[in-house]
Chain A
Amino acid sequence: MNGAVFLAVYQRDLRLAWRRRTEALLPVAFFLVAASLFPLGVGPDPQVLRLIAPGVVWVCALLAAMLSMPPLYAADHADGSLEQLLLAPGAGVAVAAAKAAGHWTISGAPLVIGAPLLGLLLGLPVEELPVLFVSLLLGTPILSLLGGVGAALTLGLRSAGMLIVLIVLPLAVPALIFGAGAAAAVDAGQSPSPHLSLLGALLIACLVGAPPATAAALRIAVE
C-alpha cells in the first residue's frame, strides 16, 4: 500500500467534505429522521421501544451508510482524476482504503457519536448506551469498507444507489447481527463481549479484504 497516496486522498476528501458541510451532514440527518420514525410507526410503548432500539439504531446506521455511498467515487470518476490516482504503483488499495476511511470519518463517526442520543430517545437504559456506542464504533467502519466495494462495482451506473443497497446489505448481515446483538445481550443480562469480539474480527477481516476487492472493482470500472 502506498502511504503517501493514502494520506493525500484522505486529506483531500476531508477538505472537500468540509467545504460542503451541509452535504456531509446529510447521512446523520437521515439517521436521526429515519430512527425517529420508528416510534411513530410502532407506537410509543416504552417496553417495545427499548426492545427494538439497538436493532433500529443499527438498521438506520446501515441504511445511512449505504445511501451515502454512491457519490464516494462518482465525482473523481466523472472528471477523470480517479484514473490518474490509480496509475501509481500500489495506489489502488491505498485509494480504496483512504476513501473508506474518509467516508467513515465524515459520515460514520457522527453516527457513532449520535447513536447514544438516539438510544436515549428510544428509551434504551443508560447502561446499554456504552455497548451500543462501542458496537457502532467497531461496526460502522465495516459498513464503510463493504460499501466501498459496492460503490466501486456500481461506479457510473444509472441505478447505482439501489444496486449498492441490494449488493452490500446481504454481506452486512453478520455485522448487523453482532452489532445489534451486543446491546440486546446486555438487555438479556449477558456479557456483550463475545458479540464485540466477533465484530472486531469482522472489522479486521474487512480491513484486510475490502480494500483489495475495491481496488479490483475500480480497475474494472475505469478499464
Chain B
Amino acid sequence: MNTSAATAAVRPRLTWFTFASPSNFYRLAGVLGPLCGVVAAVFALAGLWMGFFVAPTDAVQGEVYRIIFIHVPAAWLSMVLYVAMAFWAAVGWFLNARMAFIFARAIAPTGALFTLLALWTGSLWGRPTWGTWWVWDARLTSELILLFLYLGYMALVAAIDEVRRADKAGALLAIVGVVNVPIIYFSVVWWNTLHQGSSLTMGKEQHMASSMLAAMLLLTLACWAYAFAVVFARARAIVLEREGDNAWARALIARTQG
C-alpha cells in the first residue's frame, strides 16, 4: 500500500492539532528546519559584519566589548529556551501530546548549549574588563544554576529507559524547575547584595550606538533561527526513533534507502 498517498488523501484541513501528529510534524519540520538554518546563516553573517566592521569601538571598553554580540543573545536564549521547554512540558503533561514531550526534550540540549555559551563568553569578557574570569555576581550565579537545571533535566530524561516515563518525569521536573527559577533568582540577588557590597554590573548604563544595537539584534535573530533549526532537526530525529515501526516511517526509510 502506498502510505504517503493515503496520508495525503486524508489531510482535509489545517487545525490546531494537525502538526501534533508526528508524521505531519516530521514533514513540516523537514521544510522549516533547513529554512531556519538558512535564515540563521544569513542573519549571523549580517550581524557579524555589522558587529565587526560597522559598530564603533566602545569608548570605555575598547574592542573587547564586541563579545556582547554573542554574549547577550546567548544569555537571552538560555532563559527563553528554559521557559519554552517548561511550556512544552506542561502542554505535554496536561494534553498528553506526544509531540510536546518531544519538543521539550529537543529544546533542552540547545538551551544548555546557550547557557554554557553565555557563561563562557561572559568569562572571556570578564577577564579583560573586570580582571577576573569569574565573580559570584547574581547574574553569573543564577545563570550557572540554570545550567545545572538543564543538566538535571537531561540527566533524568537520559537515565529512564521507558519513553513514556522519561517524558512525564522530565516534564514534571521542568515544571517544578520553572516555578523555582524566580525564587532562585531573587534569593541569589539578595545573597549577592548581602555578601558582596557593591558588585560589578555590566556596562549597560551608557547609551548604545544604534549600529551596536542593530548588530546585537541581528545576532539575536540568528540565534533564534539557529535554535529553531536545531530543535526541528533534533525533534525529527526523536520522532523517527520513536515512530520507526509505523508504516509512514518505514515507507520513508525505504524511500530514502532505496
In the complex, chain A residues whose CB is within 8 Å of the CB of B183: 174, 202, 205
In the complex, chain A residues whose CB is within 8 Å of the CB of B194: 181, 184-185
Q: List the A residue with the shortest CB-CB distance to B165.
A: A220
Chain B nearest CB from A185 CB (Å) reads 8
Q: Is the CB of B173 within 8 A of A167?
A: yes
Q: Is the CB of B159 within 8 A of A157?
A: yes
Q: Is the CB of B172 within 8 A of A216?
A: yes
For residues 164 through 192 of chain B, which have their beta carbon under 8 Å from a beta carbon of chain A?
164-165, 168-169, 172-173, 176-177, 179-180, 183-184, 187-188, 190-191
CB of A153 closer than 8 Å to a CB of B = yes
Q: Is the CB of A171 within 8 A of B168?
A: no
Q: List the B residue with the shortest CB-CB distance to A160.
A: B159
**A153 touches which one: B169, B184, B195 (CB < 8 A)?**
B169
| Chain B interface SS verdict (over half) | helix
- Given that A174-B184, A220-B168 are known contacts, is A169 also in contact with B159, CB under 8 Å in the complex? no
Chain A nearest CB from B221 CB (Å) reads 30
- A149→B233 CA distance, assembly (Å): 32
Q: Is the CB of B145 within 8 A of A170?
A: yes
Closest 7 CB pairs of A and B: A174-B187, A170-B148, A167-B152, A177-B191, A220-B168, A177-B187, A166-B152
Chain B positions near chain A (C-beta within 8 angstroms): 145, 148-149, 151-152, 155-156, 159-160, 164-165, 168-169, 172-173, 176-177, 179-180, 183-184, 187-188, 190-191, 194-195
11 A-B pairs with CB atoms under 8 Å apart are: A153-B173, A154-B159, A158-B159, A163-B152, A166-B155, A167-B155, A170-B149, A170-B180, A174-B187, A198-B187, A213-B176
Knowing that A157-B160, A169-B148 touch, tell me 17 more A-B residue pairs with CB under 8 angstroms.
Answer: A153-B156, A154-B156, A163-B156, A166-B148, A167-B152, A167-B173, A171-B184, A173-B184, A173-B188, A174-B187, A177-B188, A185-B194, A213-B172, A213-B176, A216-B172, A220-B168, A221-B169
